[in-house]
A = this chain, B = another copy of it.
Amino acid sequence: MTEQPVEGRKRVVIERVSPEIDCGRFPIKRVVGERVVVEADVFADGHDQIACQILYWQDEKKLKTTPMLPLGNDRWRSEFSAEELGRYYYTVEGWIDRFETWRVALLKRAAASQDVRVELLLGTDLIAEVAAQAMGEDARLLRQWAIRLREAKDKPEGAAIALEEGLLELVRRYPVKHFASRYGKQLMAMVDREAARFSTWYEVFPRSCARQAGRHGTFRDCELWLPHIASMGFDVVYLPPIHPIGREFRKGKNNSPNSQPTDPGSPWAIGSAEGGHKSIHPDLGTLADFKHFVSAAGKQGLEVAIDIAFQCAPDHPYVREHPEWFRKRPDGTIQYAENPPKKYQDIYPLDFESAEWLALWEELKSVFDYWIDQGVLIFRVDNPHTKPFPFWEWAIAEIKERHPEVLFLAEAFTKPAVMQRLSKLGFSQSYTYFTWRNTKQEITEYFSELVETELQEYFRPSLWPNTPDILPGFLQVGKRPAFMVRLLLAATLGASYGIYGPAFELCENTPFQPGSEEYLNSEKYEIKHRDLLSAGSLRDFIARINQIRKEHSALQGNRSLRFHETDNPDLICYSKTSDDLSDVIVVIVNLDCVRAQTGWVDLDLRSLGLDADQTFPVHDLLGQGEYLWHGSRNYVALTPESLPAHILHVRR
């Protein structure tokens, strides 16, 4: 038989609570100080007035509440601010508001000059009930009120006494909740530090940082690069894997299967007799050198992120010590990585279907723990989508429970559902398709999806114009102006973005072969030596853009992103604003890397807090021009390289 409710008098229904990810299975994400705006459909049978509130807490014993206000059509809203790191819970509670029901009816009765004697008696009882749960002076005032009301009886001033504003305010302070309903789920918000939302990454191979060409760079060499990186306004310096590199099946230059003895190998072929995921490549230095590097970076305002790639070279210690973590083929050999017909004999994937999966999980998590102990709080995770989702969900939750300040960037360039799942289950940031979104339509569609759908609650995009794996065709063809356009877009479309630094800065754009996105003579397989001071470097341009990002809070979040119409397909226009509209930035980029483009932009003024016929000065933070704009339609002319974009600060 159907179950009878324990309490059948909970008349208020709470539905469609938002934000809610997969029925509350996953938390939304926020950073410290951000708002969580909660909405719900709340209603009851009949015509009684209802009241509802958000409940939220970190510690269940310290529930906080904030009243919800009606938006019409049974929708209610309120918000709270997430002030502490870690996990918050929130839910909604609603009840019949007997006092308000009585008050509203009394107003109507008084207006219709009806006899309200019985109603005043009713009100006396209701106020007494409120008084009973009030304290001190409030309780005294309420009791007094109840007495005045009872004594008023049929006198005409009775209704007036009952409807005094002061009474209402006092009563609202002490909600009497008979048969309150609570939403069935405790929803979650994961609150990170600000770098989860707003960060600027620079990827560098420390082994390429030696001052002398031909020498293997060290952490000490890389330290000397830190002022340069910091001067461009980056805040995260991200290192590819820093572990010993396998010797068996080591890849040579340009991913050649035949390496020379002098070839350094790929940092992603992790592990050798010298150690595995908890060891440092001896040529980079010692653990002490690494910790010194982390500390030196900190002094420059830079955090160090390292790359965690859970895969093993054939000579990784795990292979010998834990053969049970690898899959055996029928011929007794260990299964190497494949994407048939391609074979990657230099890499053994871990077998997550191993009977010893639990020990494997624990060991992999301990890799993060180890580096956290060395002072690393940001991890870029290599190909997380080739390891089971349950592992990530468990490992990230475990780590963040002890270290809520730790952040994880998912390097998953794969299908939407997979990337979204990784974000939902805990990754703080994710790589995106931005890398291949070049046209106005592509950019508009993709970013509209990111900021206008539920994705904005949990998927934090990290925009990369290039990576050591990806030299996009647009950069190959478009040369320096293309690098400028892509940096502009990355830095202003995304609150978080990063570049594969030296190669980007110096506009390296030669592919391994036509049609390939691999770099020629890729740094993945050889040590590079670069002159950072060479002419044509984008250093100053990058520095200026990053400075603008730092000075304008509008650019430090994604939810406010709005696209505006232009009449030229090569001109893209979008805006970002701070929550309170005190900072308003309008960006117009010329996507054509060759020709100047002119056109009219058509601003959605309301989203910028501007009136239809308003004249407003705009200051171009990039080109330094000052313009007087009027209304929604304004003219722009942009030229590749010299003025590829306006980053307009709207003044009022």
A binding-site residues for B, Cβ under 8 Å: 1-2, 4-5, 8-11, 13, 15-16, 22-25, 41, 43-47, 73-74, 104-106, 108-109, 111-112, 114, 117-118, 121-122, 125, 178-179, 184, 329-331, 333, 338-341, 352-353, 357-358, 361, 385-391, 394, 397-398, 401, 415-418, 421
**Nearest residue, chain B, Cβ from A181:** B390
Q: Which 10 pairs across A and B sit closest by C-beta, in order of nearness? A: A112-B341, A23-B23, A121-B330, A2-B397, A105-B340, A108-B340, A74-B417, A46-B386, A11-B388, A108-B341
**Nearest residue, chain B, Cβ from A396:** B2
Contact A418 B8 (CB under 8 A): no
Q: How far does the alpha carbon of A421 sit from the alpha carbon of B5 in the complex, in Å? A: 17
Contact B2 A398 (CB under 8 A): yes
Contact A118 B353 (CB under 8 A): no
Of B13, B114, B358, B416, which one neighbours A421 at CB under 8 angstroms? Answer: B13
Contact A339 B43 (CB under 8 A): no
Contact B390 A5 (CB under 8 A): yes
A14 to chain B, nearest CB (A): 11
Chain B residues with CB below 8 A from A9, complex form: 352-353, 357, 388
Q: How far does the alpha carbon of A184 sit from the alpha carbon of B22 in the complex, in Å? A: 11
Of B8, B109, B341, B386, which one neighbours A45 at CB under 8 angstroms? Answer: B386
A370 to chain B, nearest CB (A): 19
Q: How far does the alpha carbon of A9 sit from the alpha carbon of B582 in the complex, in Å? A: 50
Contact A330 B122 (CB under 8 A): yes
Q: How far does the alpha carbon of A339 sit from the alpha carbon of B104 in the complex, in Å? A: 11
Q: How far does the alpha carbon of A391 sit from the alpha carbon of B5 in the complex, in Å? A: 9
Contact A331 B121 (CB under 8 A): yes
Contact B401 A1 (CB under 8 A): yes
Contact B361 A391 (CB under 8 A): no
Q: How far does the alpha carbon of A4 sit from the alpha carbon of B352 in the complex, in Å? A: 15
A43 to chain B, nearest CB (A): 6
Q: How far does the alpha carbon of A25 sit from the alpha carbon of B23 in the complex, in Å? A: 10
Chain B residues with CB below 8 A from A11, complex form: 352-353, 388-390
Q: How far does the alpha carbon of A74 sit from the alpha carbon of B13 in the complex, in Å? A: 35
Indicate whether A388 sits within 8 Å of B330 (C-beta atoms), given known contacts A73-B417, A417-B15. no
Contact B8 A118 (CB under 8 A): no
The prevalent SS among residues of A at the interface is mixed
Contact B388 A4 (CB under 8 A): no
**Nearest residue, chain B, Cβ from A185:** B23
A206 to chain B, nearest CB (A): 30
**Nearest residue, chain B, Cβ from A2:** B397
**Nearest residue, chain B, Cβ from A422:** B45
Chain B residues with CB below 8 A from A44, complex form: 388
A174 to chain B, nearest CB (A): 20
Contact B329 A122 (CB under 8 A): yes
Contact A352 B8 (CB under 8 A): yes
Contact B109 A341 (CB under 8 A): yes
Indicate whether A341 sits within 8 Å of B114 (C-beta atoms), given known contacts A353-B178, A394-B5. yes
Q: How far does the alpha carbon of A339 sit from the alpha carbon of B48 in the complex, in Å? A: 10
New contact pairs (12) apart from A8-B361, A118-B329, CB-CB < 8 Å: A1-B398, A5-B394, A23-B24, A44-B388, A45-B352, A104-B340, A106-B340, A117-B331, A121-B330, A122-B329, A125-B330, A179-B353
Of B4, B391, B421, which one neighbours A394 at CB under 8 angstroms? Answer: B4
Q: How far does the alpha carbon of A452 sit from the alpha carbon of B365 in the complex, in Å? A: 46
Q: How far does the alpha carbon of A352 sit from the alpha carbon of B25 in the complex, in Å? A: 34
Of B118, B178, B418, which one neighbours A43 at CB under 8 angstroms? Answer: B418
Chain B residues with CB below 8 A from A1, complex form: 398, 401
A179 to chain B, nearest CB (A): 7
Contact A22 B15 (CB under 8 A): yes
A266 to chain B, nearest CB (A): 20
Chain B residues with CB below 8 A from A108, complex form: 340-341
Contact A45 B2 (CB under 8 A): no
Q: How far does the alpha carbon of A355 sit from the alpha carbon of B561 in the complex, in Å? A: 54
Q: How far does the alpha carbon of A4 sit from the alpha carbon of B125 in the complex, in Å? A: 53
Of B13, B25, B106, B340, which one neighbours A389 at CB under 8 angstroms? Answer: B13
Q: How far does the alpha carbon of A9 sit from the alpha carbon of B360 in the complex, in Å? A: 12
A523 to chain B, nearest CB (A): 26
Q: How far does the alpha carbon of A506 sit from the alpha carbon of B28 in the complex, in Å? A: 59
Indicate whether A109 sits within 8 Å of B340 (C-beta atoms), given known contacts A73-B415, A331-B121. yes
Indicate whether A415 sits within 8 Å of B330 (C-beta atoms), given known contacts A9-B353, A361-B8. no
Q: How far does the alpha carbon of A4 sit from the alpha carbon of B401 in the complex, in Å? A: 14
**Nearest residue, chain B, Cβ from A338:** B105
Chain B residues with CB below 8 A from A331, complex form: 117-118, 121
Q: How far does the alpha carbon of A16 sit from the alpha carbon of B26 in the complex, in Å? A: 13
Q: How far does the alpha carbon of A210 sit from the alpha carbon of B417 in the complex, in Å? A: 67
Contact B421 A15 (CB under 8 A): yes
Contact A8 B417 (CB under 8 A): no
Q: How far does the alpha carbon of A584 sit from the alpha carbon of B22 in the complex, in Å? A: 38
Contact A46 B353 (CB under 8 A): no
Of B117, B341, B358, B417, which one neighbours A4 at CB under 8 angstroms? Answer: B358
Contact B390 A8 (CB under 8 A): yes
A102 to chain B, nearest CB (A): 10
Contact A74 B353 (CB under 8 A): no
Complex A-B: 11 CB contacts under 8 Å: A1-B398, A2-B401, A8-B394, A9-B353, A10-B388, A45-B387, A46-B385, A73-B415, A73-B417, A108-B340, A108-B341
Q: How far does the alpha carbon of A23 sit from the alpha carbon of B121 in the complex, in Å? A: 45
**Nearest residue, chain B, Cβ from A5:** B390
Contact B389 A358 (CB under 8 A): no
Chain B residues with CB below 8 A from A339, complex form: 47
Chain B residues with CB below 8 A from A361, complex form: 4, 8
Q: How far does the alpha carbon of A543 sit from the alpha carbon of B389 in the complex, in Å? A: 61
Q: How far does the alpha carbon of A497 sit from the alpha carbon of B106 in the complex, in Å? A: 40
Contact A111 B341 (CB under 8 A): yes
